[in-house]
Amino acid sequence: MATSAGNEGRFGAGAPLRQRDLPALAHGRGALTVLLCAAVLLSLLRVPWGDDLVRPGGVAMVGQVLGGMLKPDLAPEVLGKAAAAAWQTIAYAVTGMTVALAMALPLGALASGTLVRNPVLRRVTMVLARGSLGLLRAIHELVWAWLFVAALGLSPVAAIAALAIPYAGILGRIYADLLNDVPPQPVTALQTTGAGLAITFLYARIPLALPDMISYTFYRFECGLRSAAILSFVGLGGLGFQIQIALDDLLFGRVATYLLVLVALILAVDTWSSQVRRRLTQ
Amino acid sequence: MFELIGVTKRYGSHVALVPLDLTIADGETVAIVGPSGSGKTTLLHLLAGVVQPDRGVLAIAGRNARSIPHGRELSRLAGLMHQQYDLVPTLSVLHNVLAGRLGEWGFFKALFSLAFPQERQQAFEALERVGIGAKLYERTSRLSGGEQQRVALARLLLQNPRAILADEPVSSVDPARAEDIVRLLVQVAGEGQHTLVASLHSVPLALAHFQRVIGLRLGELAFDLPAHAVQQHHLADLYVLDQQTMPLVGEAVGH
């Protein structure tokens, strides 16, 4: 509908819109929006807003937690533990992402369908690669962590595998799309110089997609740090593990310290990635 | 170099070229002028072998265009240069120029060259010929439009096709640079004894620098003359306003 309206506009400048050019669907969509908003508001009536919404002592507990947050425990012993845990979390995230990258690059390249000329073969490799990428990321890292801890015990390998597998699925999927969506002209230009698919991939697709790939990988590394911290809740060590112990002991000041360290880590990666991105886009 | 006999091309219901007969000799420099949508780009794409005619026969270097395999063999006969240069902005100038050699290189040489550039001397010489040898190691995205067009030309020099086909090579650079680029294009084509066919928006540039000028209008040959024989009335007929079939012709005349 939009394109037909556009063509009309180009050739008959100033011509009045005809009845069939009016977007009839927008009407339906508007009504649907109103309906959905009403449904959300109505659902609020079903929430039991009674005194029993918050459990007894819950409010006091929240006060305690918030109080602890305002007074992070900065004792040298706690800071030492925080540093060691942060290091462990970083190590898990970096190693997990490295393995994820090694899996995502070949799978993503195959899933993009830009490496195979034969249409049937391309279809087959794309379906296989996209399918396995989907399988990898369909299961959450926490579930993978439980599985690997059950299979391997509390070993760093379990943490790294749990992180690497879903992240490979996510990265590979995005890489495939980015490699597919590069501007076509430089790619065709290389093909007319006689370069084959593999060489065109090296000299046009990868360099054209690289800035976006790197910036997305950084973003995912940030998510990986958070995931690595959470993974350690299953007992694998790291910031999450320390947070869990401190919570069990009701030491909210310590919880605050560990959370602050996690926030600092994320912010540091964010600063780093935006600097890299600036250099790439210049 | 090129011989077209009754060549037609249409895209859907849009007729890009009506039956066209045309011969271009080895080493000729030919400019194609005409309003937007007159079939200039289609003609160049046909000559480059990237599209095939619907009807008629197109011979490139005496061979039926259909029988020339894409890839290396075609790249030795014809090289196409676009208005948007079609470089890879994130690669260095050196790699973009060396890309002209990719048809001749094997995969491993190409891969190795990304880390340890091969045939650097040739790339440097090509860049020197187009006047920007000093930019060898710069990132291509940092170059101006005119400089990028020179990189695209250097890439073609390394590809070394028998015919250079340039589609609106100067429509993205300012008029002062445009004259330089066209002069350079004609000069390097002459030095390397390449046939040169270029489509141009600017009639004065076509008349000043090319041996032969072809006027296309609505996919038809309006005129085909030596540059010195082109008269004002030829051009007036070429760009005459025709509201019914050419609603956008005003744009082309503005140039």
Give the pLDDT score at B123: 86
Q: B30 pairs with which residues across the strands?
A: B197, B212
A9 has a chain B CB within 8 A of its CB: no
Q: Is B83 on the interface with A (CB under 8 A)?
A: no
pLDDT digits (tens, 9 = 90+) for A129-167: 999 999 999 999 889 988 998 998 888 888 899 999 999
Q: Residue A186: list chain B partners with CB under 8 A.
A: 86-88
Pairwise CA distance, residues B218 & B185, whole Å = 27
Chain B CB contacts of A195 under 8 Å are: 71, 99, 102-103, 110
**Cross-chain Cβ contact B80/A192 below 8 Å:** yes
B117 lies within 8 A of chain A by CB: no
Phi and psi of A165, rounded to 5°?
Answer: -65, -55
Mean local confidence (pLDDT), A176-184 = 91
Residues above pLDDT 70, as percent of chain B: 93
Chain A window 150-189: which residues touch B at a Cβ cutoff of 8 Å?
A: 185-186, 188-189
Strand partners, B196: B29, B164
- Give the E-state strand segments of chain B in sequence order: 2-11, 14-24, 29-33, 55-60, 63-64, 78-81, 163-167, 195-199, 212-217, 220-226
* Measured distance CA(B80)–CA(B198) in Å, rounded: 10
For B19-41, how does the pLDDT look when each residue is reduced to its tens digit (9 = 90+)?
888 888 888 889 998 888 788 88
List the beta bridge partners of residue B29: B196
CB of B112 within 8 Å of a chain A CB? The answer is: no
Cβ-based neighbours of A77, under 8 Å, separated by 6 or more: none
Query: What pLDDT, on the 0 to 100 scale, is given for residue A164?
Result: 94
Q: Which two tokens stand for residue B129?
A: 């010929």
Using pLDDT thresholds of 50, 70 and 90, give the confidence band for residue B112.
Answer: confident
Q: What is the pLDDT, as a whole number, of residue A161?
A: 92
Q: Which of A193, A214, A276 to mutate to test the interface with B (most CBs of B within 10 A)?
A: A193
The pLDDT value given to residue B254: 40
What is the pLDDT at residue B253? 42
Spatial separation of the C-alpha atoms in residues B178 and B31, rounded to whole Å: 14
Per-residue pLDDT band at A25 (split at 50, 70, 90): low
List Cα–Cα distances, A125 to A112, A128, A138, A153, B39, in angstroms. Answer: 9, 5, 20, 35, 39
User: B134 pLDDT band (50/70/90 cuts)?
Assistant: confident
Please determine, for residue B252, whether its predicted confidence score (pLDDT) is greater than 50: no
Q: Which residue of B46, B60, B90, B93 is the best one to mutate when testing the A interface, meaning the one whose CB has the most A CBs within 10 A?
A: B90
Whether B107 and chain A come into contact, CB under 8 Å, resolves to: yes
A10 touches chain B (CB under 8 A): yes
Half-sphere exposure (Cβ direction) of A101: Cα atoms closer than 13 Å: 14
Averaged pLDDT, A125-132: 94
